[in-house]
Amino acid sequence: MSDHPPTGRSATPPRATLRRQSFNIVWLVPIIAAIIAGYLGYRTIMEQGPLLTLTFTNAEGLAAGQTQLKYKAVALGTVESIDLAKDNSHVIVKVRMTNVGKRFLNSNARFWVERPRLNVSDISGFETLVSGAYISVDPGKPGGRYQDQFTGLEQPPGVRSDEPGHTYTLKAYNLGSIGSGTPIFYRDVIVGEVLGYDIGNGLGPIQISIFVRAPFDHLVRPDSRFWDTSGVSFGIKGGVLQMQLQSVQALFAGGISFNLPYSARDETPSPDGASFKLYASRQQAEASSYNTQIKVISYVTTDVSGLTPGAPVNALGIEVGDVTGIDLLVDPSTGKAKVRVTMQLQPQRISALKESDSIENSAALLQRFVNNGMRVEIGTANYVTGQKEVDLVSVPNAKPAKVKIDGNAIVLPFETNGVDTILANATDITNKIDKIPLQNIGYNLNRLLKTTNNTLGGPQTRQLIRQLSLTLQTANTTLKDIQTGFGHDSDFQRNLGQVLNQANATLQSLQALSTYLDQHPQSVIFGRSGS
């Protein structure tokens, strides 16, 4: 083998060419993942809304990272953290809102926690038994300023901002069983509810805020009357025991009803925030619809327990007014007491009275009634509860009386009724019986019985009884001897029979002689032979 290259061949090596390797498809996976992550991060940043701060009394049912803030079942945010306040008086809940939820952060918004609630006035939140509690929001009326810190409500608001209707204010001095959520009735249909109440400084009436839903809010007119229908009312009317119950819900949660008087049907509906008086009963509400009132006073000298302001004033069983005041008056000079009962009569209920009449004309008309025997009496409206009423009755053979005018009031004469008279007589009889010394009489009678017992049971009485027994035995023996001497088989009885027989024969002879002389009277002179 030769170490030399072959002749005719070049000794220069061939030129190498460099080839670029193509893109590996494996790198597409991390690149796409990075793009998606960047997009999601950008979207999260763009959709992320502000941080909302809420304060609640407790965080029951809330959980960080899980509990959502919703409006009409649409999620607007998620709870990020739950912390206690520095003074431990409440909890601070921070909610990260979405970009959409940002527009709910205004000063008119309200926030609360939806939980299951079961009571007589509110049954709601049962869907949270499955889905869990969540924070709900009511955006309120538009136009509020931006705000991201709120104090949450402990109870859901009675009215949402998107619910049509009007709010009104009722004034009352007693709440009774009325509270938040109490239903409002119109002809037994629930048309609204009580939102809340404000007692103020405690000296004036209580302000009760109510809401009436549309379209029933147009039924509230300036002359509408509201009254309390809570609980059950009993009464006796026409001799029949009556019970009135608005509804089972009103029985436990209370209730308020209102009406639309016929005279108010042409009135304009009351504006939002209008104020009305809350009456204690329907009777008082209907009585207040009479615009003109005649003030009447009567001075009562009998027991008025059970008579209260608002009690009806009846004439022949028809209500013509109501009692407005009861005052005790004492005369310091004589020490005598009487009760001044102030009433108001509605002229519209009495055809003879006119709304335009002056107090003098009304007094003159009432004087004619009094001349015919009309008097004021205190009657019983309910024998179960003892409630009293004022009756204008006609008293037969009533003593003459005069109607007086005292300031702006008319004074009517008072007359005790028959029941009061009977009770007074019974009381007088009882007092007389109390004056009888029954205790002394019983003591003396007891002493007499003891003396009699001692006398009858003494030795003298026993000796007298023995002597009387001996006397009776002697008398019995004497009667037996008389029976022996003068009995049926005695000689005395036989001799007496013979004497009686002879006397009978003599009487027969005399009778025969008398008959003969009647027939032959001449025989007295000439004898029998000469007849």
Residue type present at position 385: T
Output 325 or 437, whichever has higher pLDDT. 325
Q: What is the mean pLDDT of residues 195-203?
A: 86
Q: What's the CA angle centered on 136, arms 135 and 140, to 5 degrees?
A: 140
What 3-state class would DSSP assign to 461? helix
Annotate 294-314 with DSSP letters as a single string.
EEEEEEE-S--TT--TT-EEE
Confidence of residue 211 (pLDDT cuts 50, 70, 90): very high
Per residue in 435-461, pLDDT (tens digit) is 778 788 888 888 877 777 777 666 777
Per residue in 266-292, pLDDT (tens digit) is 889 999 999 999 988 887 787 777 767
Q: What is the mean pLDDT of residues 105-111?
A: 91
Confidence of residue 130 (pLDDT cuts 50, 70, 90): low
What pLDDT is recorded for position 258? Answer: 93
Confidence of residue 81 (pLDDT cuts 50, 70, 90): very high
What distance in Å separates the CA atoms of residue 519 and residue 150, rounded to the nearest whole number? Answer: 156
What 3-state class would DSSP assign to 341? strand
What distance in Å separates the CA atoms of residue 70 and residue 514, rounded to the nearest whole number? Answer: 151
Determine phi and psi for 398, rounding to 5 degrees.
Answer: -70, 145
Whether 220 has a pLDDT exceeding 90, the answer reads: yes
Whether 500 has a pLDDT exceeding 70, the answer reads: yes
What pLDDT is recorded for position 524? Answer: 63
What distance in Å separates the CA atoms of residue 43 and residue 47, rounded to the nearest whole number? Answer: 6
What pLDDT is recorded for position 299? Answer: 92
Residues 6+ apart with CB under 8 A from 196: 158, 180, 208, 209
Residues 6+ apart with CB under 8 A from 352: 365
Contact by Cβ (8 Å): 94, 77: no
Q: What is the mean pLDDT of residues 332-359?
A: 79
What pLDDT is recorded for position 486? Answer: 63
Q: What residue segments make up the domains of the chain, in order of their start?
A: 32-151, 165-287, 295-428, 439-486, 491-524
What pLDDT is recorded for position 422? Answer: 64
What distance in Å separates the CA atoms of residue 155 and residue 139, rounded to the nearest whole number? Answer: 16
In terms of average pLDDT, the best of 49-58, 150-159, 305-314 is 49-58
Q: Which residue has the tokens 């809350």?
A: 278
> Among 326, 426, 304, 306, which residue's Cα sits nearest to residue 377?
304
Q: What is the greatest pairwise CA distance in the chain? A: 257
How much is the mean pLDDT over the chain?
80
Whether 462 has a pLDDT exceeding 50, the answer reads: yes
Residues 6+ apart with CB under 8 A from 490: 484
What distance in Å separates the CA atoms of residue 375 and residue 377, rounded to the nearest whole number? Answer: 6
Confidence of residue 419 (pLDDT cuts 50, 70, 90): low
Confidence of residue 131 (pLDDT cuts 50, 70, 90): low
Residues 6+ apart with CB under 8 A from 154: 56, 57, 112
Contact by Cβ (8 Å): 170, 256: yes
The structure tokens listed for 118 are 């079961």
What pLDDT is recorded for position 237? Answer: 46
What pLDDT is recorded for position 447? Answer: 80
Strand order in the sheet with 68-71: 110-114, 134-138, 68-71, 74-84, 91-98, 48-56, 149-151
Per residue in 386-406, pLDDT (tens digit) is 788 899 888 888 888 999 998
* Angle between the N-to-C axes of helices 491-519 and 459-486, in degrees from 0 to 180, rounded to the nearest 10: 60
Confidence of residue 22 (pLDDT cuts 50, 70, 90): low
What distance in Å separates the CA atoms of residue 340 and residue 528, rounded to the nearest whole number? Answer: 120
Whether 429 has a pLDDT exceeding 80, the answer reads: no
Whether 76 has a pLDDT exceeding 60, the answer reads: yes
> Among 257, 187, 268, 265, which residue's Cα sits nearest to residue 226?
257
Per residue in 154-196, pLDDT (tens digit) is 888 877 877 889 999 999 988 887 888 888 999 888 899 888 8
What 3-state class would DSSP assign to 427? helix
Q: Out of 100-109, 221-230, 414-423, pick the least confident.
A: 414-423
What distance in Å separates the CA atoms of residue 162 and residue 160, rounded to the nearest whole number? Answer: 5
What pLDDT is recorded for position 26? Answer: 72
Beta bridge partners of 110: 138
Confidence of residue 84 (pLDDT cuts 50, 70, 90): very high
What distance in Å separates the CA atoms of residue 124 and residue 122, rounded to the nearest whole number? Answer: 6
Output 431 or 22, whichever has higher pLDDT. 431
What 3-state class would DSSP assign to 233? strand
The structure tokens listed for 234 are 């009993």
Q: What's the CA angle centered on 391, arms 385 and 397, to 5 degrees?
A: 130
What pLDDT is recorded for position 239? Answer: 42
Q: Out of 19-28, 189-198, 258-267, 376-385, pick the least confident.
A: 19-28
Whether 376 has a pLDDT exceeding 50, the answer reads: yes
How many residues can be counted in the chain? 531
Contact by Cβ (8 Å): 351, 343: no
pTM exceeding the 0.85 threshold for the entire prediction: no
Q: Dihedral of CA 433/439/441/445: which sign?
A: positive
What distance in Å separates the CA atoms of residue 340 and residue 331, rounded to the nearest whole number? Answer: 13
Beta bridge partners of 443: none
Q: What is the mean pLDDT of residues 194-209?
A: 88
Q: Dihedral of CA 186/188/190/194: which sign?
A: positive
What pLDDT is recorded for position 240? Answer: 45
What distance in Å separates the CA atoms of residue 102 and residue 100, rounded to the nearest whole number? Answer: 5
Whether 526 has a pLDDT exceeding 60, the answer reads: yes
CA 273, distance to chain mean position in Å, is 30
